[in-house]
Each structure stands twice: as structure tokens, then as C-alpha cells.
Amino acid sequence: MCQHYKKNDIVTVTIEDIGTDGEGIGKADGYTLFVKDAVVGDVVEARITKAKKQYAYARLEKLLTTSPFRTKPRCPHHRQCGGCQLQALDYKKQLEYKQQKVRNNLIRIGGFKGTEIDRVMEPIIGMEEPYRYRNKAQYPVGTDREGHIVTGFYAGRTHTIIPSTECYLGAEENKKILEILIKHMEKHHISVYDEAAGKGLVRHILIRKGFTTGEIMVCVVVNGESEKEGSIHKEEYIPYQSELLSDLSGIIGMTSVSISINTEKTNVIMGKEIHTIWGSPVIHDVIHVRDMRREGYPCTGQELTFAISPLSFYQVNPVQTEKLYSLALEYAGLTGREVLWDLYCGIGTISLFLASGARQVCGVEIVPQAIEDARSNARSNGIVNAFFYAGKAEEILPAYYEKSQGNEQEELRHPDVIVVDPPRKGCDAACLDTIIQMKPGRIVYVSCDSATLARDLRILCDGGYEIKKARAVDQFGHTVHVEAVVLIQRKDT
Ligand code: SAH
């Protein structure tokens, strides 16, 4: 019989495993405890926060024996902040955990055999330096109890802001930029957005940096032209805008300052309307893809430059992105003759590397600004064999498949390779269905969520494919997230 705990009970427990949210898992009297902030290998006193029949949630109250896998986190806010879940865990152990996470999901959710996965799975590609790797940060703006303006990060699973201008995963310049913005808002009594009331001006601050070029972008998300901000001039989205711009432009690397207007009562951070108020509408970054195979690879050491606008997706970890893309290209196995689709293509990064080693590539992406970026990136890199469609992959692909029968675009109906890189929710069923009908010889699935990856691979494999290779890449050190690339091949080829 399980002993039933209740809220606030203190339990001594040995932590034996790591849960999906990075929490420590241990057993006490046959009862499973999920202990926030406990590290695998710790013996802890845990305080129960929520008790269920067979298991309970708890948080670390007192560390009795320190795990050999415990390490000193750099950030003082790592326990409250919802951004990092694994900072107290040794980085090597983080990688082991992520390798297991992908493997377990493929087995548990995908229904693949452990022996099959172990045969195809290569070791995870880790980071050399798991701090200061992020090129993008989105800070909510709010007020503290005394009414001071603060920026920071949401505490886990809440919209409470933990005030902080320093994140050790992000670029060092972010701190100075946030300080300038906070000072400006305080000085001119500029209001912050109140989520509950839907009132107030400044909602979020987005900062991006091109790590190879040093170019910095700041985008301030505002709630339209708030009536309270009576002093706004016609062309001003923020009071005393030119003073703010003069301060921001003093930051080395500042390239683009823009305003995003978001009047919706929503969790979506960015509004669709963007106005560049200083400098360029985009920043640039260079991606260098290395030769991951020893020979016969057409894209050896290739470098491409990408323009990135505020609304476009761009991989957040540029160092690991080079490894991720190199791997995706290796799995695509191009000879120069292939015709391909790159679904969920963003600003066309993967598409353009593929295009350099293939005959023709078609990219599909839902965000129209990203497609504009993709087309201009093709032009500026001198690539003429990449084409882009703006729209949902699950609509564009089936429509193309129907319409192109018998016409000159027939080749793209049955491409050699399809690359997909969907957001966390994975591919839509209609998209997977059409992919199976198109019968590409190979599919390269790039995924940022191994649970939906496993679900989609099951559908594709039931449609006639088998897994050939799989490899995780750590794009998000200190968090529980992990990227993975899988190559599947048609069984009859
Ligand atoms: N391959 C790109 C982008 C990957 S992120 C890169 O490496 O940079 C996933 C992308 O899918 C985002 O750009 C997002 O805007 C886009 N997206 C989301 N849902 C989509 C859909 N239903 N159809 C097409 N693109 C979608």
C-alpha cells in the first residue's frame, strides 16, 4: 500500500532519474516523487507541493547528500526562472539525459524497438561552451511591487516577471540595451502593458544579435498608440523616440531598431505590424556548414549570409546550428542532381544550403516576411535554383500535389528528398499524408520536440519508410529541450 502524503509534508528521498521537465525523480515507500530543483544522485528533503494517489510533486527543501553530477549554476535566478531547468546538472550529464530523452520517446511514443533505435542512433552533438550561446532574447516588461519598471523572465509556468537584465545564456549587450530602455521609460513615465487590463504601452523587448557579424536588432513591442501617451508626435511610436534612438545607437553593433504593434490580448509576443525606426529593417548572420562526410560531398565548407527580420524565425544557437545543418545535409546525401522540398523553411537557411548541392529546392513557410527574407537571401547569395512559397505546409503541399499532375512540375511531385523542420507541435496529418503519397526516396526530419518527432515518424514509417540514422544536437544547453535529426528512407528503394 502506498503511503499517502499531503501538501507540505517533508519527505527524505534519493533522486534516481530526471523527468521531462528536468525535475528529479525519486521513490519513497513506493510513491513516486517529482522534485523540482533536485539533481539526479542527490539525497534530499523534499516538501510536497501537490499530492496525488500514486505520485506527488515536491520541491527541494534541504540537500542532504550532494550528487556528484551537481555543478555550480552561473545564474542566481536559475531556480525561479522558467528558462533554464538543468543549470545545476553537470553539462555532460545533461547531454546524456537528452540522448536518452530522444531514444525513449522514439521507443515509447514512436513504438520503435530499442534494438532498432540503438542500431541507427549516433551520439549526441554537444556544445563546447554551454553559456552565452543564444542570439535572441524576448523580455517581458512590467512593474515590481513598488511600481518600478522591470524586465526579466517569466517564472516557470507563470507570467510573474523575475526582474533581471542579465541572462547568462544570452549576449552580453542585452543588459546595456535593457538598462537604456528602462531608464528611458522611467524618465518619461512611459506606461508598461498590463496583461489583465489590456492597457499600457510597452509589452516586450526583442533583442537579436548576428554572432558572426556583430549586428544587433532591437524591436520594442507596443500596444498600439496608447491614448495615455499624450506627448506622442505623429511619427513617434514611443514618447521621446529620438532621444531613445540616440541612446540605443551608441551601442556597438546596433543595426536595426523597430517597433512591433501588438494590440491583441494574447500570449503571442510579436504583433504583425513592424515599423523600422532606426537603421536597417534586417540584421545579417553568416552560417558556415562543414563537410561532415569525408568525401563526395558537394557543399564542403560552404558559407552563406542571411538577412533576418524581426518576425522571421532564425535558429537561436548559431554555433550549434552549423553542426545541425551540416548533419541535415549529410543525411540528405546530395549528389547535385536532386529535386527537393524544404518544408517549414523559415528564412530559407536549410533550403539554400541544399540548393547549392542539388538541382532544385522548393521551400514552404507560413510567415510571409520570412519568405521575403528567403527570396532575398537566395538573391544575395547568388542562388537561382531555390523557390519559395508562403503558406501552410499542410495546404501548399497537397495543393501542389493535386495541381502538378502531368505538367512540367511533375518532378517536384515525386522529389528525391523532403526535408521537414516543423515547430514543436510537429507536422500536420495532411502534410504527412501528402509526403507519403509523393514517395520521396529520403526524408530528413529536423525536430525540436522528440515527442512529436516520434509520433510523426511512426506515421511515415507505417507509410513505407524505415529509420536509417538519428542524432540529437544540443541547441539549448541548460534547458530540457533538444533538437534531433532523423533520416528515413523508403523501404522499396
Ligand atoms: N528550417 C528553418 C525554420 C525552422 S522553425 C530554420 O532552420 O531556420 C519552424 C518554422 O516553421 C518557422 O519558421 C515557422 O514560422 C514555420 N511554420 C510553423 N507552422 C507552419 C506551417 N503550418 N506551415 C509552414 N511553416 C510553418
Q: What is the pTM of this model?
A: 0.94
Q: What residue ranges of the chain are covered by domains with CATH 2.40.50.1070? A: 136-281
Q: What residue ranges of the chain are covered by domains with CATH 2.40.50.140? A: 10-65
Instruction: Give the mutation target among 366, 372, 395, 400 for probing the ligand 1 site: most ligand atoms within 8 A of CB.
Output: 366
Q: What is the pLDDT of residue 4?
A: 75
Q: What is the pLDDT of residue 228?
A: 46
Q: What residue ranges of the chain are covered by domains with CATH 3.40.50.150? A: 286-490
Q: What is the pLDDT of residue 1?
A: 41
CA distances from 206 to 11, 159, 186, 455, 476 (A): 42, 17, 19, 33, 18
Q: What is the pLDDT of residue 353?
A: 96
Q: What is the pLDDT of residue 300?
A: 55
Residue 370 CA to ligand 1 center (angstroms) comes to: 9
Average confidence (pLDDT) over 260-272? 95
Average confidence (pLDDT) over 458-480? 98
Q: Which residue in the list 81, 84, 345, 448 is annotated as catalytic?
A: 448
Work out the mean pLDDT of the chain and round it to a whole number: 93
**In contact, 191 and 221? CB cutoff 8 Å:** no
Q: Which atom of ligand 1 is nearest to the CA of 367?
A: 15
CA distances from 42 to 26, 95, 112 (A): 10, 18, 32
**Residue 294 clears pLDDT 50, i.e. is over it:** no
Q: In sequence order, what are the residues at sequence separation of 6 or more whose Cβ sits closer than 8 angstroms to the Cβ of residue 395?
A: 430
Average confidence (pLDDT) over 45-69? 96
Residue 105 CA to ligand 1 center (angstroms) comes to: 22
Name the helix (H) or strand (E) containing 234: none
Question: Over pLDDT 70: what percentage of the chain?
Answer: 95
Residue 161 CA to ligand 1 center (angstroms) comes to: 28
Q: Of 213 and 227, which is predicted with more confidence?
A: 213
424 phi and psi, to 5 degrees? -55, -30
Residue 389 CA to ligand 1 center (angstroms) comes to: 12
Which protein residue has the closest C-alpha to ligand 1 atom 1?
Answer: 345
Which protein residue has the closest C-alpha to ligand 1 atom 16?
Answer: 344
Give the three cell numbers for residue 88: 545545476
Q: What is the pLDDT of residue 480?
A: 97
Question: Is residue 448 annotated as part of the catalytic site, yes or no?
Answer: yes
**Residue 226 clears pLDDT 80, i.e. is over it:** no
Which protein residue has the closest C-alpha to ligand 1 atom 11?
Answer: 344
Architecture of domain 136-281: Beta Barrel (2.40)
- What is the Cα–Cα distance from 482 to 109, expressed in whole angstroms? 16
**In contact, 365 and 344? CB cutoff 8 Å:** yes
Q: Name every protein residue with a CB atom under 6 angstroms from any ligand 1 atom.
A: 313-315, 344-346, 349-350, 364-367, 370, 392-394, 421-423
Residue 60 CA to ligand 1 center (angstroms) comes to: 38
Torsion angle (degrees, nearest 10) of CA 8, 11, 14, 20: -30
Q: Of 315 and 405, which is predicted with more confidence?
A: 315
**In 165-215, where do the E strands start and end?**
202-209
pLDDT digits (tens, 9 = 90+) for 114-157: 999 999 999 999 999 999 999 999 999 999 989 999 999 988 78
**Residue 331 clears pLDDT 90, i.e. is over it:** yes
Give the three cell numbers for residue 71: 555543478
- What is the Cα–Cα distance from 73 to 78, expressed in whole angstroms? 7
Q: Which atom of ligand 1 is nearest to the CA of 446?
A: 1
In CATH terms, the superfamily for domain 10-65 is Nucleic acid-binding proteins (2.40.50.140)
- What is the Cα–Cα distance from 35 to 57, expressed in whole angstroms? 6
Q: What is the pLDDT of residue 3?
A: 58
Q: In sequence order, what are the residues at sequence separation of 6 or more whose Cβ sits closer than 8 angstroms to the Cβ of residue 451?
A: 105, 109
Q: Does the domain spanning 286-490 belong to CATH 3.10.20.70?
A: no
pLDDT digits (tens, 9 = 90+) for 154-181: 887 888 898 999 999 999 999 999 999 9
Q: What is the pLDDT of residue 293?
A: 56
- What is the Cα–Cα distance from 225 to 241, expressed in whole angstroms? 13
**In contact, 120 and 470? CB cutoff 8 Å:** yes
pLDDT digits (tens, 9 = 90+) for 401-459: 998 877 767 788 899 999 999 999 999 999 999 999 999 999 999 999 999 999 999 99
